[in-house]
A and B are shown apart, each in its own frame.
Chain A
Amino acid sequence: MAVFKYDENNRRHRFIRTIVVTVVSLAVFLVLWWVATVLMNDQNFPTPDKVFAALYDLILNGDPIGGHSIWEYIAISLKTFLYGFGLALVVADPLGLLLGYVKPLREFTAPWIEVVRPIAPIAWAPIFVLSFGSRLGPALVVFIGIFFPLLTNIIFGVQRIDKNWLDASKTLGASQGQLFYKVVLPATVPYILNGVKVGLGVGWMCIVAAEIYNKFGGIGQYLVDMVNGGLMANAFAAIIIIAILGLLTTGVAEYVSKLVSRRMGMDA
């Protein structure tokens, strides 16, 4: 039998290793899950085989109660998510740059930010859904979740700008406006992307909670319906879908952030 010799410096070997470790880890996780649920023998905690059967059925035949396909739920969740994310980008980027750049403004608004920021975004969910409706409400909860990590990262990024870059630009004739567009803005991009990365994770956590208060609104609502209907296998199937979507969004954000930072020659 040929012995597989692992070589740390070989890219393919490292890749294979990652795959193997991940697969084995997930397999062990499933076994632990199965053992735990069998031992508990509680119908609220279904065994993995039941959950995956429900997931399979959900993908093929859709929601057994509401009659909607699973893709409709996912589409609604993603749409809400993108609205919140887009709004956070549009508001936090200019605001973060401004607050990072103008010290008096930053000092003045710091108490506001510090008071509002520690509030769990989920706490806003019932209020927002009640006041802004089931479409805008959840999107605003996602917005709050993404907004603060993004804002604080951008402010931090502006303050971390190498003073020598500003000095060099001034001796090359840059005006205040040019300093901003040619130095501050590009220098902050890696921090913006890092903020997006952190924000997306938080935002995705918010969406499920926000949708719980909806009549018909996405995968979070489906989860609640299933729990209320006692269909626990379906509820866990929804949780798996939420996990996979969350992994995908943060994975994409992380990849883009790494790629751009490397392209720009600055690993923030």
Chain B
Amino acid sequence: MSRSKLVVKGEKYDSSDRVRADRTDLLYSHIPEGETLVSIKDLNVTYRTDEKTTVAVDDFSFDIKKGELVSIVGPSGCGKSTILRCISGLLQPTSGEILIGGNKCTTAGSDRGMVFQDFALFPWRSVRKNVEFGLEIAGVPKEERQERSDRYLKAMGLSEFADSRIHELSGGMKQRVGIARAMIMHPAVILMDEPFGALDAQTRNILQESLVNVLKTSSRTIVFVTHSVDEALFLSDRVLVLSKRPATIHTVIDVPGERPRDRASPEFTKLRREILSYLESQNTL
């Protein structure tokens, strides 16, 4: 098959073990929902400049279960985005490792999709061509690309903008494209780096609801970095609360209730107050 491609380069894979780059989730179909899919082990990130050494992440370990949405919240500059970039493989940790289904990840690959705060869309491509980018890279034939992008454009409410140019879209629409572009690849895990951070409050809420809707029909494993406690509680199965830099895990909160959640419920309000008061105590400014 010409579209086959070896995605994860680890000892466990040999040349007979080829995997479609556009369906890396199939690699881990043997792992049941709720079991550990992604392991972060003893992650250390140290930045060195001539003047000083900054420890951004210090011995950070955490397991992410298959099919869950984990949010990472923490005070500004605590290193939460750094952790996410290490998982994606875009940043090499000083030490420690990222395992997906037991396989060590070294470089970036299509098994770890990413949604960026500033969208990172390609302005020279139409909305549809942006969504299809990964499929094109993986060598998926045109008809299949079209059929799959139709589905995701529809799911994200983008059908009528399929042929639009990126600069013609509002910020909210842009991030819908970003989410569709990541999800269409069926990565093992989707990493979202403050995806709604650049949007106004109203658009944010609408996009959070869209995400919840999409997840109802298609189970995904998502790591979601945000500085909005409200957003984390609204979306996540678990919320990881981090301390100030270098980040250590303060608490892990199992958020009760099925999505979509009531933002005004007493439980929701209580949790939010607890987390916020902790974050304020960690604020170094």
A contacts, CB < 8 Å to B? 162, 164-165, 167-175, 178, 182-183, 186-187, 189, 264-266
Contacts and interface: CB of A to CB of B under 8 A. Distances in A.
Contact of B110 (A162, A165, A173, A265): A173
B133 A171 contact: no
Interface stretch (B10-18, B134-142, B143-151): B134-142
Given A162-B120, A172-B185, A186-B124, A265 B167 contact: yes
Interface of B: 5, 7, 21-22, 88-90, 107-110, 112-114, 116, 118, 120-124, 133-134, 136-138, 165-167, 181-182, 185, 187, 191
A165 B114 contact: no
A173 B109 CA distance: 5
B60 to A, nearest CB: 21
Given A167-B116, A173-B109, A173-B134, A266 B185 contact: no
B163 to A, nearest CB: 13
The 4 A-B residue pairs with the shortest CB-CB distance, nearest first, are A173-B110, A172-B134, A164-B120, A265-B123
Contact of A167 (B90, B109, B181, B187): B90
Contacts of B167: 265
A264 B134 CA distance: 20
Given A164-B116, A178-B137, A172 B110 contact: yes
Contacts of B124: 186-187, 189, 264-266
Contact of B137 (A173, A189, A264): A173
Interface residue SS majority, chain A: helix
A178 B7 CA distance: 15
A164 B118 contact: yes
B114 A174 contact: no
A168 B108 CA distance: 10
B123 A264 contact: yes
A239 to B, nearest CB: 41
Contacts of A162: 120
B40 to A, nearest CB: 17
Contact of A169 (B123, B133, B182, B191): B133
A173 B21 contact: yes
A226 to B, nearest CB: 48
A169 B114 contact: no
Most buried by B among A162, A168, A175, A186: A168
A171 B113 contact: yes
B120 A168 contact: yes
A62 B136 CA distance: 58
A181 to B, nearest CB: 10
Contacts of A187: 124
Nearest to A168: B120
Contacts of B166: 265
Nearest to A267: B167
Given A167-B116, A168-B120, A173-B21, A182 B137 contact: yes
Nearest to B184: A172
A67 to B, nearest CB: 52
14 contacts: A168-B120, A168-B122, A170-B109, A171-B90, A171-B109, A171-B114, A171-B187, A172-B113, A172-B182, A173-B138, A175-B137, A186-B122, A186-B124, A264-B123
Contacts of B120: 162, 164-165, 167-168
A171 B178 CA distance: 12
B5 A171 contact: no
A172 B88 contact: no
Contacts of A172: 110, 113, 133-134, 137, 181-182, 185
A86 to B, nearest CB: 25
A175 B136 CA distance: 12
Contacts of A265: 123-124, 165-167
A189 B124 CA distance: 10
Contacts of A169: 133, 137
Contact of A165 (B5, B88, B122): B122
Contacts of A175: 137
A43 to B, nearest CB: 57
A266 B165 CA distance: 10
Nearest to A264: B124
Contact of A182 (B88, B114, B136, B165): B136
Most buried by B among A162, A174, A182: A174
Contacts of B121: 168
Contacts of A167: 88, 90, 108, 114, 116, 120
Given A165-B122, A265-B166, A265-B167, A171 B137 contact: no
Nearest to A183: B122
